[in-house]
Homo-oligomer: A and B are copies of this chain.
């Protein structure tokens, strides 16, 4: 397997001012052609650190890529470090300079002197055209190894990766078909899930990773052998199929949204601890006004009584966080909005307000279709926002799974 390493250059990344999306983009593109990234290093944009990173990684890589540090500003020392590392002089390239002049003329801007160094290239290096900026990319072949340097500006880098790097790799290396599927689950903790999947073995060619999301777990299966890949997916689904809600980019809210859109039914929502989040999730989807009539956030007991007709005796006897209250919230919101479906949630999002009998994280979720009602009790963990989010997602999932055909 060939080894591809990436050096992302930039103080901004190390200072946490810029998130390293270049690594994510390049990593993903390489994975898709079966040449996954072996290692990535981020260093400051000064000559010494760049040189050291080149020394460390060139020896152990078949392909080395750098991003960043190819602009005209004062701290852009990457090109000099590269030239020094490969023992090349920089030479001024007329055709690159003409390209830069053209770009500035188009924008009607006088060319700053500092830009001149952008037309300098280490001897023997190929340049890669920059369609969106002035700094060209660099490519150098040596002893069957390949070195690439791209600008750090994402749009410029991406264009060079898709327009130059990937075609080059495909025609010079044995790229493989790479298969990847994400199986998305809800209802089991990561540890429970891996317990159930402990006899599903990774092979030389196919791997599996579990990725906990908030209250959900994704299982990612990826590799290069299609048979083994399909077999692994089948095994996983046999063991945990009932907890699978979707695949790849599927998400619960959108799945429920699509089902509701395809029907002629309406929905109303009564929220207590989720405080508007459920409705917010639905209304993030264009077209939700076709089924969502609206809802009531009844944060106070008064609101529960006056707006949702929850009985005072119910609140006094069972409390606001109870199956009984959620049941009356469901009935109340359906009456008010005259809807086919309803969701109601009441719980303790914390961090205060818990008691030994009703701890933080206790949430009752109810859904209602026409005259059927299901109410489930949950004990969620996490911060206030996490408990709100888990409650909202599970309420939407409960509706989608049980009712919406």
Q: Which A residues have a C-beta under 8 Å from some C-beta of B?
A: 11-21, 23-31, 36-44, 49, 53, 56, 71-75, 103, 106-109, 111-115, 132, 134, 153, 155, 189-192, 194-195, 198, 207, 209-212, 220, 222, 269, 271, 273-280, 282-284, 286-289, 292-300, 302-303, 306-307, 336-338, 349-352, 359, 379, 381-386, 388
The smallest C-beta distance from A399 to any residue of chain B, in angstroms, reads: 16
Across the interface, A15 reaches (CB within 8 A) one of B14, B28, B276, namely B28
**Bound-state Cα–Cα, A307 to B337, Å:** 8
Closest chain B residue to A131 by CB distance? B383
The smallest C-beta distance from A96 to any residue of chain B, in angstroms, reads: 15
Across the interface, A112 reaches (CB within 8 A) one of B71, B191, B283, namely B191
Query: Which of A72, A191, A296, A382 has its CB near the most chain B CB atoms (within 10 A)?
Result: A191
Are B74 and A194 neighbours in the complex by a CB distance under 8 Å? yes
Which residues of B have CB within 8 Å of A17? 24, 27-28, 209, 211, 220
Which residues of B have CB within 8 Å of A192? 109, 112
Across the interface, A294 reaches (CB within 8 A) one of B28, B29, B300, B383, namely B300
Which residues of B have CB within 8 Å of A49? 39
The smallest C-beta distance from A174 to any residue of chain B, in angstroms, reads: 19
Known: A37-B14, A72-B190. A279 touches B297 (CB 8 A): yes
Closest chain B residue to A132 by CB distance? B382
Are B288 and A293 neighbours in the complex by a CB distance under 8 Å? no
Which residues of B have CB within 8 Å of A277? 276, 280, 283
Are A195 and B113 neighbours in the complex by a CB distance under 8 Å? yes
Known: A19-B20, A191-B112, A195-B112. A300 touches B293 (CB 8 A): yes
Are A211 and B12 neighbours in the complex by a CB distance under 8 Å? yes
Known: A24-B13, A153-B212, A297-B269. A106 touches B381 (CB 8 A): yes
Are B289 and A299 neighbours in the complex by a CB distance under 8 Å? yes
Are B190 and A71 neighbours in the complex by a CB distance under 8 Å? yes
Other 12 A-B pairs with CB < 8 A, given A19-B23, A283-B299: A13-B24, A13-B27, A15-B222, A40-B41, A106-B381, A108-B379, A109-B192, A155-B382, A276-B295, A280-B388, A283-B297, A294-B297
**Bound-state Cα–Cα, A74 to B199, Å:** 11
Are B132 and A72 neighbours in the complex by a CB distance under 8 Å? no
Closest chain B residue to A210 by CB distance? B73
Which residues of B have CB within 8 Å of A18? 24, 211
Which residues of B have CB within 8 Å of A38? 14, 44
The smallest C-beta distance from A239 to any residue of chain B, in angstroms, reads: 14
Across the interface, A302 reaches (CB within 8 A) one of B194, B293, B306, namely B293
**Bound-state Cα–Cα, A158 to B336, Å:** 44
Which residues of B have CB within 8 Å of A289? 299-300
Closest chain B residue to A56 by CB distance? B56
Are B12 and A16 neighbours in the complex by a CB distance under 8 Å? no
The smallest C-beta distance from A37 to any residue of chain B, in angstroms, reads: 4
Which residues of B have CB within 8 Å of A198? 74, 114
Which residues of B have CB within 8 Å of A42? 23, 39-42
> Shortest 8 CB-CB distances between A and B: which pairs?
A275-B283, A16-B28, A276-B279, A16-B27, A276-B276, A276-B280, A112-B195, A294-B303
